[in-house]
C-alpha cells in the first residue's frame, strides 16, 4: 500500500537523510575472540590476518590443527626457533614447514620427536615430507642415525642391505640395531662385533651361524654377559661347559679387580 512504511521509504528523495543510511561493518574481533575462534577451529587463523603474528594465538591454532601454521604471519613462519617449537608441540606442523630440504632443520625437528617417541611409528611418517634429495644424502642419513639412536630412517632411503660393507659398518657403529637393516652383512664377524659393542642386544640380528659359533659368542660375553647370552643360540645357552667357559674368566677378573682395589685402597 502507498501509505505503508516501506512505500514511504522508497518515495524519499535521494538526498534525504534516510537515503544516506548505511549498515555499519561488523566490529573487528578482539584478541580474546580470536583466541576462542582458533581454539575451536585452528584453521580459522586464515581468516584472522590481524592476529596471525600473535604467538599465543598461533600456538592455540596449531594445537587445534597443526596445518594452521601455514596461516601464521610470514615473520613467524621465517622464525626457525618458533617453527621448531611448534613441531615439538604438534609434530604434524612439520608438513607445512618451509625448510624440509635443510639438513640441520630436519635433524633439529625430527630427532627430538624420534627420541621422545622411540616406540612410535608416527614421527617416521613425517619423513615422507623430507626432500628426496636429502634422503639420498648418506651424510644426512648417518647423522640422523647417530643423533636419533635409531635406524628407522633406512626404510625411506637408499641405505639398504644392498649397500657396501663400509656403509653397513659405519651404520652399526652409530646404532647397533642397524644390523637388522643389513641382513647381507649379518654373518660378518667384524660388523656384528661393532653392532654388539654399540648395542648389546644387536646380537639377535646376527646370522644364526654366528649365534651358534661358541668362540665368537664367547669373545662377546665380556661386553655384557647377561644380554649376550640371552641372544646366543639356544644350543649354547643349554651347554653348561660353554656357559662356564664364558663366565668363569669374568668371575676371576671381577675377583682379582676387587683384590687389587682393596690393596690400592689400603696402601693409600
| Least confident span in 18-32, 89-103, 135-149, 254-268 | 254-268
Instruction: Return the sign of the alpha-carbon dihedral for residues 220, 226, 230, 236.
Output: positive
Between 244 and 37, the higher pLDDT residue: 37
Q: Is 175 helix (H, G, I), strand (E, B) or coil?
A: coil
For 52, half-sphere exposure in the C-beta direction (CA atoms, 13 angstrom radius) is: 18
Q: What is the pTM of this model?
A: 0.56
Name the residue with higher pLDDT: 141 or 248: 141
Domain boundaries, the chain: 28-97
42 close to 64: Cβ distance less than 8 angstroms: yes
Give yes or no for residue 175 having a pLDDT over 90: no
- DSSP code of residue 149: T
Residue 253 pLDDT: 52
Task: Provide, rounded to the nearest whole percent, the portion of the chain with pLDDT above 70.
Answer: 78
Q: Is the dihedral of CA 186, 192, 194, 196 positive or negative?
A: positive
Q: Mean pLDDT over residues 112-130, rounded?
A: 79
Digit-coded pLDDT (tens) for 44-73:
999 999 999 999 999 999 999 999 999 999
Question: Taking Cα atoms as reference points, which of 169, 125, 117, 170 lies closest to residue 148?
Answer: 117
| pLDDT band for position 81 (cuts 50, 70, 90) | very high
Q: Which three cell numbers stand for residue 267?
A: 696402601
pLDDT tens track for 200-245: 899 999 999 899 998 898 888 877 777 777 888 989 888 888 887 7
Question: How far is the CA of 250 from the CAs of 32, 107, 224, in angstroms?
Answer: 68, 41, 10
What one-character DSSP code corresponds to residue 144?
A: H
**d(Cα 200, Cα 185) in Å, to the nearest integer?**
17
Cell 607445512 maps to which residue?
Answer: 96
For residue 259, the model assigns a pLDDT of: 46
Given this model, what pLDDT does residue 7 score?
47
Please answer whether residues 247 and 220 qualify as being in contact, where contact means their C-beta atoms are separated by less than 8 angstroms. no
pLDDT of residue 264: 47
Question: What is the Cα–Cα distance from 115 to 91, expressed in whole angstroms?
Answer: 13
In order of 141, 153, 167, 181, 219, the CA distances from 136 in angstroms are: 8, 11, 13, 16, 36
132-169 pLDDT per residue, tens:
888 888 888 888 888 887 777 877 775 444 557 887 88
Q: Locate cell 654373518: which residue?
A: 187
Name the H helices within 126-213.
132-135, 138-148, 165-174, 189-198, 208-211
Q: Where are the beta strands (DSSP E) in the chain?
A: none
User: What number is the average pLDDT over the span 175-180?
Assistant: 86
Taking a C-beta distance cutoff of 8 angstroms, is the pair 33, 57 a contact?
no
**Model confidence at 266: pLDDT above 80:** no
Backbone angles phi, psi at 102, to 5 degrees: -95, 115
* pLDDT for the residue numbered 97: 93
Tell me if 107 sits within 8 A of 97, measured CB to CB: no
pLDDT for the residue numbered 5: 45
Amino acid at each position: 500500500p502507498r501509505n505503508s512504511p516501506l512505500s514511504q521509504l522508497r518515495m524519499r528523495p535521494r538526498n534525504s537523510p534516510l537515503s544516506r543510511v548505511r549498515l555499519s561493518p561488523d566490529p573487528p574481533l578482539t584478541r580474546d575472540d580470536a583466541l576462542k575462534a582458533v581454539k575451536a577451529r585452528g584453521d580459522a587463523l586464515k581468516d584472522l590476518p590481524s592476529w596471525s603474528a600473535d604467538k599465543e594465538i598461533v600456538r592455540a591454532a596449531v594445537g587445534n590443527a597443526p596445518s594452521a601454521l601455514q596461516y601464521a604471519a610470514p615473520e613467524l613462519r621465517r622464525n626457525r626457533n618458533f617453527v621448531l617449537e611448534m613441531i615439538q608441540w604438534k609434530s604434524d606442523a612439520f608438513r607445512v614447514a618451509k625448510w624440509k630440504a635443510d639438513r640441520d632443520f630436519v635433524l633439529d625437528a625430527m630427532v627430538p620427536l624420534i627420541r621422545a617417541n622411540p616406540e612410535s611409528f608416527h614421527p617416521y611418517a613425517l619423513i615422507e615430507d623430507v626432500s628426496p634429495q636429502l634422503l639420498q644424502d648418506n651424510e644426512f642419513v648417518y647423522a640422523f642415525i647417530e643423533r636419533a639412536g635409531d635406524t628407522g630412517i633406512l626404510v625411506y632411503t637408499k641405505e639398504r642391505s644392498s649397500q657396501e660393507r663400509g656403509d653397513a659398518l659405519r651404520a652399526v657403529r652409530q646404532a647397533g640395531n642397524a644390523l637388522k637393516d643389513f641382513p647381507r652383512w649379518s654373518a660378518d664377524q667384524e660388523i656384528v662385533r661393532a653392532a654388539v659393542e654399540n648395542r648389546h642386544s644387536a646380537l639377535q640380528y646376527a646370522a644364526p651361524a654366528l649365534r651358534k659359533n661358541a668362540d665368537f659368542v664367547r669373545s662377546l660375553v665380556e661386553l655384557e654377559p647377561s644380554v649376550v647370552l640371552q641372544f646366543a643360540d639356544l644350543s649354547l645357552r643349554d651347554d653348561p661347559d660353554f656357559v662356564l667357559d664364558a663366565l668363569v674368566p669374568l668371575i676371576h677378573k671381577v675377583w682379582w679387580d676387587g683384590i687389587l682395589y682393596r690393596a690400592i685402597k689400603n696402601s693409600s
